[in-house]
Structure 1
Amino acid sequence: MNLKNLKEKQVMDVIDKILKNRDDVCKCNKCKLDIAAIALNNLKPKYVVTEKGSLYAKSNILDYQYDVDLIKEVTKAIEIVKEKPRHDETR
C-alpha cells in the first residue's frame, strides 16, 4: 500500500454528488480538480499507509460533524471555482 490521503476520494465523491444537481457550475475535469484542491487544502488530511490503518481511519471519520465539514468546504470551493473557472486558460 502507498501513502494515501483518504479524504481525496471522499471529496471527489461529494463533488460529484453536489454537481449532479447544479446546472450553474462547470463540470469539466479541470474545474472538478480545482474544487477538490481548494476543499482538500481547507480540510485536515487523513493519511494512511496500511490496509489496517485505512480501515481504522475510515471508521473514525464516519461522524456527522465530519460530513458537515466536508460538505461545507466542498460547497465553498464550488463557489470559488464557479466565479473564476480556470478551464478557459487552456483553450
Structure 2
Amino acid sequence: MPKNYMETVVDYLLPNVLQKYSNICTCEKCIEDIKAIALNNLQPIYIVSQEGHAYAKLNEMSSQFKATAIQKIVEAVEIVIKNVKHG
C-alpha cells in the first residue's frame, strides 16, 4: 500500500518546531490540524517499496528539503495559533 513519506518527515520534524513556541496548544486536535495543514502544503512523496524508501531518505538529507518542510510546519503552527478550534 502506498504511503506518503512526507507524513513521516512531518512527524519527525514537528516536535523540534513546537519547542520554539510557548503559546501553542499541543492537544491532539491542534497537533492533527498542524500536520494536516503542513501536509496539504508539501508535495507528497509516495513510496511503495524499499527502493522508494531509500530514495525518500536520500531526499530527506537535502538541506533544502528539510528547510522547506520546516517552513511549511512553521506556517501551519502560525495558522493554528491564530485559529484554535477546540471541539
Q: Same fold (TM over 0.5)?
A: yes
The offset of 1:8, in angstroms, is 0.4
| Number of aligned residues | 87
List, as ranges, runs of 4+ consecutive aligned residues in structure 1 with deviation greater than 2 Å.
Answer: none
Q: CA RMSD in A?
A: 1.2
Residue 74 of structure 1 is matched in structure 2 by: 73
SS at match of 2:26: coil
Alpha-carbon offset, residue 21 of structure 1: 3.4
Rg comparison, structure with higher value:
1
Distance between the aligned counterparts of 1:58 and 1:70, measured in 2?
A: 14
Deviation digits for residues 16-43 of structure 1 (CA, Å, limit 9, x no counterpart): 1111332200011110110011111111
User: How far apart are the structure 1 equivalents of 2:25 and 2:5?
Assistant: 25
Alignment partners' CA distance in 1, 2:76 and 2:53 = 26
The aligned counterpart of 2:41 is: 42
TM-score normalised to structure 2 length: 0.90
TM-score by length of 1: 0.87
Percent of aligned positions with the same letter in both sequences?
Answer: 38
AA in 1 matched with 2:82: E
Q: Which moved more, 1:76-85 or 1:59-68?
A: 59-68
**1:74 offset after TM fit, Å?**
0.4
Structure 1 residues not aligned, in runs of 5+: none
Partner of 1:85: 84
1:55 CA displacement: 1.3
Give the match's secondary structure for 2:10. helix
CA separation in 2, counterparts of 1:86 and 1:11?
21
